[in-house]
Structure formats: C-alpha cells, structure tokens
Chain A
Amino acid sequence: SAVISQKPSRDICQRGTSLTIQCQVDSQVTMMFWYRQQPGQSLTLIATANQGSEATYESGFVIDKFPISRPNLTFSTLTVSNMSPEDSSIYLCSVDRGHEQYFGPGTRLTVT
C-alpha cells in the first residue's frame, strides 16, 4: 500500500489568487499523479509529475494554470493559479504501486 498526505486539507480562496497544494508519499515513487474531482463529476487526471523533468499534462489542462513541481521522489506540489469559482473542486494526489493505485485524502478547494 501507500501512505499519502496532502496539505492543506481544505481552503477557501478568493478569485484571482493562487493556491499551492502539497503531496507527500511515504516512500519513493517514480511518478506522482494529480487528479481533480469536481462536484457530480468523475475523477479526472490533470497531469503526471516525474522527478527531474517537466510534468505531462492531459488534454484540457495547461501548465500556466496548473504548474507542478517535483523536487524529489516523495514530494510534489500542484498550484492552482488565477482561480475562478469553476476551480472549486477536490484535488487529489495519487501514486501507482504496480497493480494498485492509491490516492491521498484530497484538498477541498472553494473559490469565492
């Protein structure tokens, strides 16, 4: 299994500001993944974060809006930039352990 922690667990932010979400894993992993869970919608992959290289973004997501850092093999950050109410969502960090994929507890973001 994997133990994943995220900070903050929740936040309320004003539109136009940015929030950085942290993800910490209990052991080294090659790839870390960032997902979004919007109200009433399916979980959707935002990007894959590899240590030592640029993140890979899925269709519909761009680096300027969701910059990602991956400074080492157990840590990553996702920034939600220039926020609007449409960014209100749960953001989840995830890691793959062979045949199993694990998720962190999520960060619940509300943009007012």
Chain B
Amino acid sequence: EDQVTQSPEALRLQEGESSSLNCSYTVSGLRGLFWYRQDPGKGPEFLFTLYSAGEEKEKERLKATLTKKESFLHITAPKPEDSATYLCAVRVHGGSQGNLIFGKGTKLSVKP
C-alpha cells in the first residue's frame, strides 16, 4: 500500500533557528513528490514538485530535497510568517492523474 509519513507532527522553532521537516514514502512507483504550505482556514498552497532522487528546489528560505525513500524540507533562518502546516504528497504510477497521496503534515510554529 502506498503510504506517506511526515515527521515531526509539530515543530516549534525560535526565529532564525534552522531545521528540517521529513517526509518518508513507500510507494509502488513515484511520479512526483509535492510540498504544500497550508495556513489555518485556507487551502494548500503549492511549493515544490520533485521527480527524481538527488533533485533539489529552493524558494526563499525553503529548500526541498529528494532521495529514493524520503524528502526533506529545509527551513533556513525561519521567520514567524513561516508558521503553517507543511504537507507532503506523492503521485504514483498507476494512480489517477489528480490523486495525490498526502501525509498528515507537520505543524510549524516560529516564535519571534
């Protein structure tokens, strides 16, 4: 069974304290790994798509990396406005085009 697990469930950081969020996956065949940011009361906001091991993508203070078993979302010198829930999802071979399998997310809190 295709599965996505995110850790930790919650993470509290001080402003400027860099850290990483983990997304491990067990899938039959990976077509893409997606990262989203979700603020309370809003829909997920697209951040990145990664396709192959070794791939990296960056956006402001965020950098996503991918291996054959997991992905990391690195947050460098976070600010309070980075506080949100970060979701990881995979698209698998044989699945319907829009079927992303999501993890439960990591809730990040950044204190000033």
Contacts and interface: CB of A to CB of B under 8 A. Distances in A.
From DSSP, what is the main secondary structure of chain A's interface residues?
strand
Given A100-B46, A101-B34, A42 B99 contact: no
Interface in B31-64: 32, 34, 36, 41-46, 49
B98 A106 contact: no
A43 B49 CA distance: 17
B31 to A, nearest CB: 10
B102 interface: yes
B46 A96 contact: no
Nearest to B101: A42
Interface in B90-112: 96-105
B98 A103 contact: no
Given A40-B104, A41-B104, A43-B89, A102 B98 contact: no
5 contacts: A44-B102, A45-B98, A48-B98, A102-B46, A105-B43
Pairs A-B, 7 closest by C-beta atoms: A33-B98, A103-B43, A42-B102, A43-B102, A103-B44, A105-B43, A45-B99
Interface of B: 4, 32, 34, 36, 41-46, 49, 87, 89, 96-105
Given A58-B96, A101-B34, 20 more contacts: A31-B97, A42-B101, A42-B103, A42-B105, A43-B87, A44-B102, A48-B96, A58-B99, A92-B44, A94-B98, A95-B98, A96-B97, A101-B98, A102-B46, A103-B43, A103-B44, A103-B45, A106-B42, A106-B43, A108-B41
